[in-house]
Amino acid sequence: MNALLKRVWIGMAAALIVSLAATIAPDHVQIGDDGRIHLGAPAPTPSPSTVNPEPESTEPPLTRDAVDEAIRTALASAGLDPEQGRPFAAGAASKRTGWTAVREKNAAQAEMKAVCADLERQGWTLNPDPRGDRPEARSYKRGGWYLVVNTREKTGAPSTTSAPTGAEADLTLTGIQLNLSDIPLPEITVRIG
């Protein structure tokens, strides 16, 4: 009985590792027709059913100042005053930036859509969520940066709107500079089944 439980736990651990790896770095996980899962560098002989990842952008990396300007432009395009929110505190060399404000809940959804539309107009590419479309959050990528735009319901917080209501939401833009190719992944092949 202990051997069976051990196999079950090992199988569950392997499934968890693979699902986490597929979520974090989907272009570094290949699943072959024979049930083998390959993490890390591409498998030497990929099967025809393996999905090829999108090629990395040849666009030059963006600076943090350029991302800050993209955020300010998108906010202004949505009819928001970037000075009325709270920017994330970080140095000029930081790999993180952002902006947040408390808004009226219904307005936050409309403002989020307008911000997203302007980001797309600026050339940011929608980074689809593997869990499906989520109306409260959108992720974009461009020039080595990932930018997440989201709303989250808030209760009892001071508002940046002129007439606060009972239903408020945080409208947040979070930018993170991330280069997944710099993260070394070990080559691991797992056979399940």
- Per-residue pLDDT tens digits for 167-182: 898 999 999 887 666 5
Q: Which of 162, 186, 183, 159 is nearest to 171 (CA)?
A: 159
Grade residue 72 by pLDDT with cuts at 50, 70 and 90.
very high
In the block, tokens 């030059």 appear at: 60
Q: What is the mean pLDDT of the chain?
A: 76
Per-residue pLDDT, averaged over 78-90, amounts to: 84
Q: Which residues pair with 101 in a beta bridge?
A: 171
Pairing verdict, β 145-154 and 137-142: antiparallel
pTM above 0.85, yes or no: no
Per-residue pLDDT, averaged over 98-105, amounts to: 90
Q: Are 109 and 78 in contact (CB under 8 A)?
A: no
Confidence check: pLDDT of 117 > 90: yes
Per the model's pLDDT, the better-predicted residue between 176 and 132 turns out to be: 176
